[in-house]
Structure 1
Amino acid sequence: MAVISPKIAHFTVEEYHQMVEVGILSDRRVELIDGLILEMSPEGTEQAYFEENLAKILERLTVGRAYVRENKPIALSNSEPEPDIVVAKLPRSQYIDHYPFPENIELLVEVSKATRSYDISTKKALYAQEKIPEYWVVDINARKLIVYRFPEPEDYRQQREFSASETVSPLAFSDISIPVSDIFAI
């Protein structure tokens, strides 16, 4: 007797939008990743605090040069994730008609505690595949920043970890410097 394995249903971005529009997913925190609708982890207080620290720093340092978005979708080929922070190109008004596309994105940031392994594997591969130029993972548990740069088809060519005693400069804004300790400031 042949064994039949169940198949996983994949959805397009359009199908996902239809479900959102008719309210099927209205009471759920979800995102579309590679055609799968995934439940998002609840945001803890530490994650929210450190995310806000970095978002405010990025907003202040890139004022008039970029648009900083928090917890909002981005439009990828078969995914619609909601990164913790997106630094997108101006003008902001272009996003009234669409979420930022990969070519609009200067920097993506995920602030990780419980989701660290997912953020440095699945999400990193997705963002590299979509050619997002720079991806940061704020590792709350280790109090460090992991920076990925130069996307290739499945991964980033460069990875570097920054401790709280170091500073980092985004590729798109090499003239600004962010002390990693400021991300974790209390």
Structure 2
Amino acid sequence: MSEEKPNDKKKQPEIIRESYVTYDDYANMPDDGNRYEIADGRLELMSGPGGLHQVISKTLSDTITQTCSQDYIILTAPFDVILSQIEVRQPDLIIVHRSRKSIITRRGIEGSPDVVVEILSPSTRRRDKLDKIKSYAKYEVPEYWIVDPDSYSLELYLLRENGVYELADLFNADEPVISPRLTCLSFTMNDIIAVVKDTLDWA
């Protein structure tokens, strides 16, 4: 269901600098119109999101905000999550409990959010499901969601005591999305599909 062209599917985030990069290096880079992340001290160029990706992101953000904004702050990319001096990510959605709002600074999120959400695309699937899952676990993000636009499914991972994520649930169709942390949620993936299809004739 993704709108990316077939020849885009093999594209991977490009490592543009092999030398060690810190947040300070990253923050002082001139703005060239591109988006970057720092992965274990390596600067990576991010691919631009497509229309389907963006509509799903906005729909999820709006839907979660409707029932959870009293307790949580919901932010969307591009917004830096500074996990360390050598690990800076830009999740599609970032969710922070209001009791921890002090981690939201002028620079970005400084520390681990309560929940991060990544929406898959052909160019980011490998990174989101392999690289980022290790990164978010290492820096102790308690909950990680992966949304797949092809199947309109939501995988919910919980960080266990051994420091590894476990797939706690998989939500499809009319199954209510349930999170141990966000008890305020009230939606299904079919709710998301309905809004997306109302917005995009080709979705």
Q: TM-score range by the shorter chain?
A: 0.7 to 0.9
In structure 2, the partner of 1:125 is: 134
Q: Distance in 1 between matches of 2:134 and 2:96?
A: 20
SS of equivalent residue, structure 2 residue 66: helix
Q: Distance in 2 between matches of 1:42 and 1:152?
A: 35
In structure 2, the partner of 1:4 is: none
Contact 1:125/1:154 (8 A) holds in 2:
no
Sequence identity, in percent?
A: 24
CA shift, 1:93, in A, is 6.8
Unpaired stretches in structure 1, ≥5 consecutive residues: 1-6
Q: Which of 172, 176, 186 is the equivalent residue of 1:163? A: 172
Runs of 4+ displaced beyond 4 Å: 91-94, 151-154
| Count of aligned positions | 175
- Correspondence list, 1:1-186, <5 A: 8-19=18-29, 23=30, 25-71=31-77, 72-77=79-84, 78-90=86-98, 95-103=104-112, 105-114=113-122, 115-151=124-160, 155-185=164-194, 186=197
CA shift, 1:125, in A, is 0.7
User: CA 1:113–1:144 in 2, change beyond 3 Å: closer, same or farther?
Assistant: same
SS of equivalent residue, structure 2 residue 18: coil
Unpaired stretches in structure 2, ≥5 consecutive residues: 1-16, 198-203
1:69-108 deviation per Cα after TM superposition (whole angstroms, max 9, x unaligned)? 00011110221111110011226576244422344x1211
Q: TM-score, normalised by structure 2?
A: 0.77
CA shift, 1:153, in A, is 6.0
Q: Distance in 2 between matches of 1:8 and 1:130?
A: 22
The two structures, once aligned, show a CA RMSD in angstroms of 2.2
